[in-house]
Amino acid sequence: MLGSFFNIDGGYLEGLCRGFKCGILKQADYLNLVQCETLEDLKLHLQGTDYGNFLANEPSPLAVSVIDDKLREKLVIEFQHMRNHAVEPLSTFLDFITYSYMIDNIILLITGTLHQRPISELIPKCHPLGSFEQMEAIHVAATPAELYNAVLVDTPLAPFFVDCISEQDLDEMNIEIIRNTLYKAYLEAFFAFCKDLGGTTAESMCEILAFEADRRAIIITINSFGTELTKDDRVKLYPKVGKLYPDGLAALARADDYEQVKAVAEYYAEYRALFEGAGNNPGEKTLEDKFFEHEVRLNVNAFLQQFHFGVFYSYLKLKEQECRNVVWIAECVAQKHRTKIDNYIPIF
Amino acid sequence: MSLFRSEDMALCQLFLQSEAAYSCVSELGELGLLQFRDLNPDVNAFQRKFVNEVRRCDEMERKLRYLEKEIRKDGIPMLDTGENPEAPQPREMIDLEATFEKLENELREVNQNAEALKRNYLELTELKHILRKTQVFFDEQEGGSSATESMTRALIPDDSIARQAAGPVQLGFVAGVILRERIPPFERMLWRACRGNVFLRQAEIETPLEDPATSDQVHKSVFIIFFQGDQLKSRVKKICEGFRATLYPCPEAPSDRREMAMGVMTRIEDLNTVLNQTQDHRHRVLAAAAKNITNWFIKVRKIKAIYHTLNLFNLDVTQKCLIAECWVPTEDLEQIQLALRRGTERSGSSVPPILNRMDTLENPPTYNKTNKFTSGFQHLVDAYGVASYREANPAPYTIITFPFLFAVMFGDLGHGILMASFAAYLVIKERTLGAKKIQSDVWNIFFGGRYIILLMGLFSMYTGMMYNDVFSKSLNIFGSNWRNNYDESTLMNSKALQLDPNSTAYFKYPYPFGLDPIWQVAENKIIFLNSYKMKISIIFGVFHMLFGVLLSLWNHVYFRDRLAIMCEFIPQIIFMCFLFLYMVLLMFIKWVNYSADTIDVKAGPYCAPSILITFINMVLFKSSKNPDVCDDWMYAGQGFLQKLLVVIALLCVPVMLLAKPIMIMRARKQHQPLMNAGHTNNAAENGDAGYQLDDSMQQVQPVPAHHDEEEDITEIFIHQGIHTIEYVLGSVSHTASYLRLWALSLAHARKSP
């Protein structure tokens, strides 16, 4: 029943999004891209795809950073076009997607100011999807409380930040904790929002967000080994929406090394598969890449169903993965370091 | 002949000396008669031979686009003489590149200077505004408190702060300029971050300022912030930086401010002159470029197109010559040879290029020669489907049928004149309008179809006269052939009166041309016209469809396809004639045999049968139930004849469906054993030279993919099935669809008054 009313508000944008999705590079394109000798070749090939003339007005010689910027710019334009045409509840949904970029931007800026970098140098590095008005004045704040009171209280992130105010001052450790607490709150809120929306959106998005939450929990655990983060603090950072919640998270909280994390993952079929092939030796894929691959798979699956908002999220994530792939290949081409050029993550 | 069929094509192989290839392709490109085939489809775009040249062209295009953008920004008109320069020689490419490079660098430099100057100018203007506006703030305070009290103290309404500091405090302030839309968050942020301990005043700058980076007009506001203490100062400054506000020094003493304002004014004036000079220089550079830019664009694009084409070619082993394969209309082979010779001469090469005809089993592409009149119609036809190679081209007939069928629907003399005169304007002005290169889609549809619209307009004028409609009014040219035979009192007393055609009201002969104008005032005009236009529509439709089927006969004859004539065309035409042409015939019988001015009831309006009902009954094998006074049939033997016609027409359907595939199947079965026998014979005797030659020829010839000799028999059945269903259902539904001629005509007639 939800589906029959979906097209009234979301039909155009869903169609548009699916159209955009068809422009995502295929395996055949990647095979051609990895054969490129120079960045000019890369540009020439990308001209034959949906990217069209996006690099046509860039003077030679090309730099990887320019390609990166232009790829991102194109994605941002597409996303913002969709956001501008969206109505409730899709607009809130799309806003939710941008919050994660806001979190990243805030953390980037705070870390930057902590290292005495001028703010004007940091701003261009921020993701344009996560920019907000007060962003550039972030370096006024010296403590989390100030950060909240002066800067974030007006932004949509305010409710997520409430848990962080208690932190004493902004040092590297605390920033990392703030980031993860924010992200935890954000994921839980987004998850709840999608659940409320119900229908196919809930089905597809909860699956993806649950994986995102579990990935964060696992990575936080692995990264915490050998740092001063206590186990109690670590538990507070786990987003409680994934499949690992509650038993898996409890087990993770007790883990002391990588093997124990792996043992926890053994209980979950899909995560076991990810841990099995992962490793840091040559010829093996890193756990991170394995996670990315799984994420791509989930996002591709979102397109199998119709009449839901998951496609917008998935499109953005897939496109981001594609940007990472193209930049990786471009980087390999530019540095003449071809042995690892095949380490991109194919999407279709 | 080429009007009715697509051109005769030949696959040619072209050997070009590598030094002459460029100019030859350039000449061929000007001719536009060849279709080159890609000989290296497996090679990536960036691995082809001339990719570097293509890339250089891309770079040149980029520079030209940059130039164009700058020219547009300054609003300098670009000269377009409409001339078509030839593609420059490859060696000239370097000159072009150098020119563009120089222009681009010069322009970038000028722009950089201009930007720096503009930034300077912006800063000075902002400073000017600050000095002016802050003056107001300061004046207000001094005017408000005429006492000698410190003006800064009066600014703070909250006395507690002053008291806390014990005595008059020195308040610091910063002044600056900020984008107007950022004021509200800026103010909020100041309040929050400084806990309300700062005081902000702001005033809008009325005139928009130019942003030097993007040269957009932006609105800004002047603000001044008062605060106390160094800590607050650094914080305020940080916030200002965060909101991209520009801060300016502003002296405290009024006299210093006045002095500074004077200095700023003179510097602005100086800067203005410099800025004007820079602008002039920029304008000169751009104006020079604007004269040539269209020409340059064409040249660069031509070079790029030539290298793209060269990328389709094969290199031979010795690297001395390029091999191309192309489709050529056989009629134009001479012209192509000439162009090739010209190209060779231009390049100064001694070895002439070789153009070889190749034998091929592939289906050649369809190429219809058009001129400016037929091209619109050809596009119209191609939009529905392109005919196969050498099939009859429907476009020439469309020139008449399309505008005519349109006119049947549109028929109105007045509207037709408007339409025709609009199209005539486009046609007469086509040279100047075409040169304008208007990009709008809607305009291009109209302009591309100007001849179609013209003909539609002219035909509409004709049908408008037939319908006797001019802006939905009638013309009474010859005088109506009906007259009023009622006396005055009857006329006055009744609302509607009938004129009986069987009385003196009708002159017994029809209006000389088209519809009698009397119908315009008749109550039953629409009812009368409906039956008339419906019949006309069906008649046109059936003849139109019959004509289409006859065209297919012409195709079968041309391709000597006897099987198709026997098993497709004949059943098709029988089906069409026996059902639909017969219905048309019935209409004519009704028109001839039944009339209002007769005393015989059986031939009068009361007994006139409905053609539609008659036709439906005919297909359903029902006999019509007429009132007793009338005849059951329109003519003797009608019942039997109709049954016969329907049975035969229906029998044609299985013939259409099955005959051709079965014949093909039988032919193949007979053919195959024969072939096999021939082979064994050949192997045994080993002496039949002719056969062997044939055999070896076949081996040499590569078997192309499109060859349909081995097409699967089930495939043929399916195709024939689709074709039959399409034809049978099509002829029924099309007949009904032609009623749309009437429906739209009715709609037009009803809507326009």
**Predicted local distance difference test score (pLDDT) of residue B293:** 86
Radius of gyration in angstroms for the set of CA atoms belonging to chain A, rounded to a whole number: 21
**Predicted local distance difference test score (pLDDT) of residue A252:** 85
Across the range B10-30, mean pLDDT stands at 87
Closest to A221 measured CA to CA, from A239, A235, A241: A235
Assess whether pLDDT exceeds 80 at residue B693. Answer: no
Q: Which of A134-143, A262-271, B404-413, B554-563 has the lowest mean pLDDT?
A: A134-143
Q: Which residues in chain B have their CB less than 8 angstroms from residue A37's CB?
A: 46
Question: Where does the pLDDT of residue A15 fall: very low under 50, low under 70, confident under 90, or very high at 90 and above?
Answer: very high
The residue with greater pLDDT, A99 or B81, is A99
* Rounded-to-integer distance, Cα B363 and Cα B37, Å: 13
Question: Where does the pLDDT of residue B582 fall: very low under 50, low under 70, confident under 90, or very high at 90 and above?
Answer: very high
Across the range B262-277, mean pLDDT stands at 89
Question: Where does the pLDDT of residue B676 fall: very low under 50, low under 70, confident under 90, or very high at 90 and above?
Answer: low
Across the range A77-104, mean pLDDT stands at 92
Q: Do A134 and B46 touch (CB under 8 A)?
A: no
H-type helices in B515-581, by residue range? 525-558, 562-564, 570-576
Half-sphere exposure of B115 (CA within 13 A, CB side): 12
Chain A interface with B: residues with Cβ < 8 Å: 32, 35-37, 40-41, 44-45, 47-48, 56-60, 119-120, 133-141, 146, 149-151, 153-154
Assess whether pLDDT exceeds 50 at residue A336. Answer: yes
- Provide the number of CB pairs (under 8 Å) joining chain A to chain B: 68
The predicted-structure confidence for B205-240, as pLDDT tens digits, reads as follows 888 888 877 778 888 888 888 888 888 888 888 888
Minimal CA separation from A88 to chain B, in Å: 25
Instruction: For chain A, give the mean pLDDT.
Output: 86
The predicted-structure confidence for B709-732, as pLDDT tens digits, reads as follows 556 888 889 999 999 999 999 999
CB-based contact B471:B411 (threshold 8 Å): no
Q: Do A140 and B235 touch (CB under 8 A)?
A: yes
- 């000389």: which residue's tokens? B512
Which residues does residue B358 pair with via DSSP β-bridges, in sequence order?
A: B11
Pair type for strands B209-210 and B9-17 = unpaired
* Chain A residue closest in CA terms to B186: A134
Q: What are phi and psi of A186, to 5 degrees?
A: -65, -45
CB-based contact B31:B336 (threshold 8 Å): yes
Q: Which residues in chain B have their CB less than 8 angstroms from residue A154's CB?
A: 185, 188
Sequence letter at residue B192? R
Q: What is the DSSP letter of B76?
A: P
Percent of chain B with pLDDT over 70: 90
Radius of gyration in angstroms for the set of CA atoms belonging to chain B, rounded to a whole number: 43
Pair type for strands B321-329 and B314-315 = antiparallel
Helix, coil or strand: residue B225: strand
Minimal CA separation from A258 to chain B, in Å: 43
The predicted-structure confidence for A164-212, as pLDDT tens digits, reads as follows 777 667 777 888 888 888 899 999 999 999 999 888 888 899 999 999 9
Q: Do B185 and A35 touch (CB under 8 A)?
A: no
Mutate to test the interface with A, among B44, B57, B188 (most CBs of A within 10 A): B44
Q: Do B44 and A45 touch (CB under 8 A)?
A: yes
Q: Which residues in chain B have their CB less than 8 angstroms from residue A40's CB?
A: 46, 55
* Chain B residue closest in CA terms to A123: B242
* Chain A residue closest in CA terms to B234: A140
The predicted-structure confidence for B282-333, as pLDDT tens digits, reads as follows 888 888 888 888 888 888 999 999 998 888 888 877 777 888 889 988 888 8
Question: Where does the pLDDT of residue B707 fall: very low under 50, low under 70, confident under 90, or very high at 90 and above?
Answer: very low
**Predicted local distance difference test score (pLDDT) of residue B509:** 82
Q: E strands of B316-381, at which residues? A: 321-329, 354-358
Assess whether pLDDT exceeds 60 at residue B683. Answer: no
Which residues does residue B355 pair with via DSSP β-bridges, in sequence order?
A: B14
* Chain A residue closest in CA terms to B46: A41
* Nearest-by-Cβ selection for B241 from A44, A119, A134: A119
- 């089905």: which residue's tokens? A203
Q: Which residues in chain B have their CB less than 8 angstroms from residue A41's CB?
A: 46
Question: Where does the pLDDT of residue B2 fall: very low under 50, low under 70, confident under 90, or very high at 90 and above?
Answer: low
- What would the two tokens of residue B153 be? 């103290």
CB-based contact A288:A345 (threshold 8 Å): no
CB-based contact B228:B169 (threshold 8 Å): yes
Q: Do B62 and A56 touch (CB under 8 A)?
A: yes
The residue with greater pLDDT, B135 or B270, is B270
* Rounded-to-integer distance, Cα B241 and Cα B186, Å: 11
- What would the two tokens of residue B151 be? 């003006």
**Predicted local distance difference test score (pLDDT) of residue A53:** 79
- What would the two tokens of residue B406 be? 């349109």
* Rounded-to-integer distance, Cα B346 and Cα B27, Å: 10
The residue with greater pLDDT, B458 or B243, is B458
* Nearest-by-Cβ selection for B244 from A44, A136, A139: A136
CB-based contact B391:B363 (threshold 8 Å): no
Rounded to the nearest angstrom, the gap between the alpha carbon of residue B588 and the centroid of all alpha carbons in its chain is: 43
* Nearest-by-Cβ selection for A137 from B58, B59, B243: B243
* Rounded-to-integer distance, Cα A50 and Cα A39, Å: 18
Instruction: Extract long-range pairs of B668-671: CB within 8 Å, 24+ residues apart.
Output: B668/B713
Q: Do A137 and B193 touch (CB under 8 A)?
A: yes
Assess whether pLDDT exceeds 70 at residue B113. Answer: yes
The predicted-structure confidence for B425-457, as pLDDT tens digits, reads as follows 999 998 888 877 778 888 888 888 899 999 999
- What would the two tokens of residue B464 be? 């408008």
Confidence (pTM) = 0.74
- What would the two tokens of residue B673 be? 């054993």
Minimal CA separation from B307 to chain A, in Å: 15
Q: Do B243 and A59 touch (CB under 8 A)?
A: no
**Predicted local distance difference test score (pLDDT) of residue B673:** 64
Assess whether pLDDT exceeds 80 at residue B684. Answer: no
Mutate to test the interface with B, among A34, A36, A44, A138 (most CBs of B within 10 A): A44
The residue with greater pLDDT, B422 or B362, is B422
Q: What are phi and psi of B12, to 5 degrees?
A: -120, 150
CB-based contact B110:B285 (threshold 8 Å): yes
The residue with greater pLDDT, A1 or A34, is A34
Q: Work out the angle at residue B736's Cα, subtended by the Cα atoms of residues B733 and B737, and round it to the nearest 5 degrees.
A: 85
Closest to A75 measured CA to CA, from A296, A262, A320: A320
Helix (H) or strand (E) holding B315: strand B314-315
Q: Which residues in chain A have their CB less than 8 angstroms from residue B227's CB?
A: none
- What would the two tokens of residue B373 be? 């009149």
Helix, coil or strand: residue A282: coil
* Residue B267 CB coordination number (10 Å): 15
* Nearest-by-Cβ selection for B65 from A35, A57, A153: A57
Mutate to test the interface with A, among B46, B53, B180, B189 (most CBs of A within 10 A): B46
**Predicted local distance difference test score (pLDDT) of residue A254:** 85
* Rounded-to-integer distance, Cα B589 and Cα B610, Å: 12
Rounded to the nearest angstrom, the gap between the alpha carbon of residue B477 and the centroid of all alpha carbons in its chain is: 43
Question: Where does the pLDDT of residue B149 fall: very low under 50, low under 70, confident under 90, or very high at 90 and above?
Answer: very low
**Predicted local distance difference test score (pLDDT) of residue B703:** 42
Instruction: For chain B, give the mean pLDDT.
Output: 82
Q: Do A45 and B47 touch (CB under 8 A)?
A: no
CB-based contact B378:B448 (threshold 8 Å): no
Q: Report the C-alpha dihedral over residues B130, B131, B134, B139, rounded to 10 degrees.
A: -160
CB-based contact B398:B382 (threshold 8 Å): no
Q: Do B239 and A140 touch (CB under 8 A)?
A: yes
Q: What is the DSSP letter of B615?
A: H
* Rounded-to-integer distance, Cα B321 and Cα B24, Å: 12
* Nearest-by-Cβ selection for A119 from B47, B192, B242: B242
Q: Do A136 and B185 touch (CB under 8 A)?
A: no
* Nearest-by-Cβ selection for B238 from A58, A59, A137: A137
The predicted-structure confidence for B58-105, as pLDDT tens digits, reads as follows 888 888 898 888 888 888 887 777 777 888 888 888 888 898 899 889
* Chain A residue closest in CA terms to B69: A57
Percent of chain A with pLDDT over 70: 98
Q: Do B47 and A119 touch (CB under 8 A)?
A: no
Assess whether pLDDT exceeds 50 at residue B160. Answer: no
Minimal CA separation from A252 to chain B, in Å: 40
* Rounded-to-integer distance, Cα A185 and Cα B54, Å: 53
* Chain B residue closest in CA terms to A49: B45
Closest to B401 measured CA to CA, from B342, B327, B334, B455: B455
* Chain A residue closest in CA terms to B58: A56
H-type helices in B10-89, by residue range? 18-31, 51-74
Assess whether pLDDT exceeds 60 at residue B479. Answer: yes
* Chain B residue closest in CA terms to A109: B242
Rounded to the nearest angstrom, the gap between the alpha carbon of residue A322 and the centroid of all alpha carbons in its chain is: 12
Q: Do A56 and B243 touch (CB under 8 A)?
A: no
Q: What is the DSSP letter of B384?
A: H
**Predicted local distance difference test score (pLDDT) of residue B223:** 86
Assess whether pLDDT exceeds 80 at residue A215. Answer: yes
Closest to B104 measured CA to CA, from A57, A63, A67: A57
**Predicted local distance difference test score (pLDDT) of residue B613:** 87
**Predicted local distance difference test score (pLDDT) of residue B144:** 47
H-type helices in B216-253, by residue range? 230-242
Assess whether pLDDT exceeds 70 at residue B280. Answer: yes
Q: Which residues in chain B have their CB less than 8 angstroms from residue A36's CB?
A: 46
CB-based contact B51:B45 (threshold 8 Å): yes
* Chain A residue closest in CA terms to B45: A45
CA distances from A339 to A27, A60, A325, A344 (A): 19, 26, 15, 12
* Rounded-to-integer distance, Cα B441 and Cα A333, Å: 42
* Chain B residue closest in CA terms to A41: B46
Pair type for strands B199-204 and B9-17 = unpaired
Assess whether pLDDT exceeds 90 at residue B522. Answer: no
Minimal CA separation from B395 to chain A, in Å: 35
Assess whether pLDDT exceeds 80 at residue B584. Answer: yes
Q: Do A44 and B55 touch (CB under 8 A)?
A: yes
Q: Do A140 and B59 touch (CB under 8 A)?
A: no
Rounded to the nearest angstrom, the gap between the alpha carbon of residue B140 and the centroid of all alpha carbons in its chain is: 64
Question: Where does the pLDDT of residue B49 fall: very low under 50, low under 70, confident under 90, or very high at 90 and above?
Answer: confident
**Predicted local distance difference test score (pLDDT) of residue B252:** 76
Q: Which residues in chain A have their CB less than 8 angstroms from residue B62's CB?
A: 56-59
* Nearest-by-Cβ selection for A134 from B46, B65, B189: B189
Mutate to test the interface with B, among A133, A143, A149 (most CBs of B within 10 A): A133
Helix, coil or strand: residue B226: strand
Q: Which residues lie below 8 Å from residue B528, measured CB to CB, with a gap of 6+?
A: B519, B522
**Predicted local distance difference test score (pLDDT) of residue B146:** 41
* Rounded-to-integer distance, Cα B447 and Cα B436, Å: 12
Closest to B376 measured CA to CA, from B459, B447, B458: B447
- What would the two tokens of residue B261 be? 């304002």
CB-based contact B583:B615 (threshold 8 Å): yes
Q: Which residues lie below 8 Å from residue B213, measured CB to CB, with a gap of 6+?
A: B115
Q: Which residues in chain A have their CB less than 8 angstroms from residue B47's CB?
A: 35
If you write DSSP's letter for every residue of B132-191 in order, what string do you get? HHHHHHHHHHHHH--SSS-HHHHH---HHHHHHH-S----EEEEEEEEGGGHHHHHHHHH
If you write DSSP's letter for every residue of B694-731 in order, what string do you get? HHHHHHHS---TT--TT--HHHHHHHHHHHHHHHHHHH
The residue with greater pLDDT, B91 or B407, is B407
